[in-house]
Structure 1
């Protein structure tokens, strides 16, 4: 298998890794309950605005910085951006979601490595493996999902642009799926929604890759309010 094919397959595996993303709606459930999202159009508008202005841009930017730091084995930078990402979460539910998904992804990476070791395919631990082990072992140092995603992308030698596109697309696909269940929508409508988001995903990815550290920002008060409302919602299908 050539390097390009291997990188693409690794990206697909990372983007849809079983880390529990399906159990989160990131406030969409409370917005559907309130009637703010009630159709494919209103869901698309919410996701487009989130990609253009919202917290997912910040998450993607953090993932890029984690990828760059992991490539050179910079544990200090990884710890800094991990703490930064934790501080940027507006609600407890969003923070716990990020930690749970990040922790699960790191454990998955280590389990896959153990499987390779059992087949003697990768006998020598790398510096990146050591970093992953440190993050996974320290319960007091919860790993945000964007940090874990960046480390995984570095581990599998995925290019920055591809990693950002994969991160944003997997986020959009998960929330589109949540909307299909909650509104509800047909599966074809959900797929058309994702197709409609391709242009905004691509645009956001380009912008994220050009962001300087001091320019990382978002307007996510709507997400924060939806997340807080969801925390006390009487009946719900999703964890957040």
Structure 2
């Protein structure tokens, strides 16, 4: 009888501990957007199961290990928020599978991604003809992000402008992230000098910018750390 009561109490306490933690980091863990979140969710499940049902293990050391894991996750999250190289090492990065309608076999081999996998993910998005695809990117989560060729995209208001019919499609080019230049993305069309001039006309400095990129239509998008919003939305 004591074993049953002990198991019930351990389960109840473990459940409330898990719910408390999930209120704190649940959105990140449940998204499974990267390897680290996936590994953490599996490990948390194992911890809670042992804490609740394995009466051969002492509860207090298990709880201490569980809390240590959460603190480690929080510490890594703080570093990731400030360091893009660390974030990419910890979380992985996306892989371009199709570039301007061409399948990149070398990239597919790197991630052990087959043509059958590609066709299946395309069909799941309602694309049965690979000729319709301009860009395809395999995300860290395993999902395939698709940009269709212009003639196969859904019609929007801007499509009623004849000047847009022959507009070239390109992937967005990141130039600034977290106040630092993304050096590898600069080219002869979008050089550092060009960027400095654009920022000068806007009276901005690189350190003020959280994110800047060239959009798929060739426009420069800039998001500042200080958005100057007097009443920003705060929706959980």
TM-score of the pair, normalised by structure 1: 0.29
- Name the structure, 1 or 2, with higher relative contact order (CA <8 Å, separation 6+): 1
TM-score of the pair, normalised by structure 2: 0.30
Q: Which structure would you say has the larger Rg?
A: 2
Name the structure where strand makes up a greater proportion of residues. 2
Name the structure where helix makes up a greater proportion of residues. 1
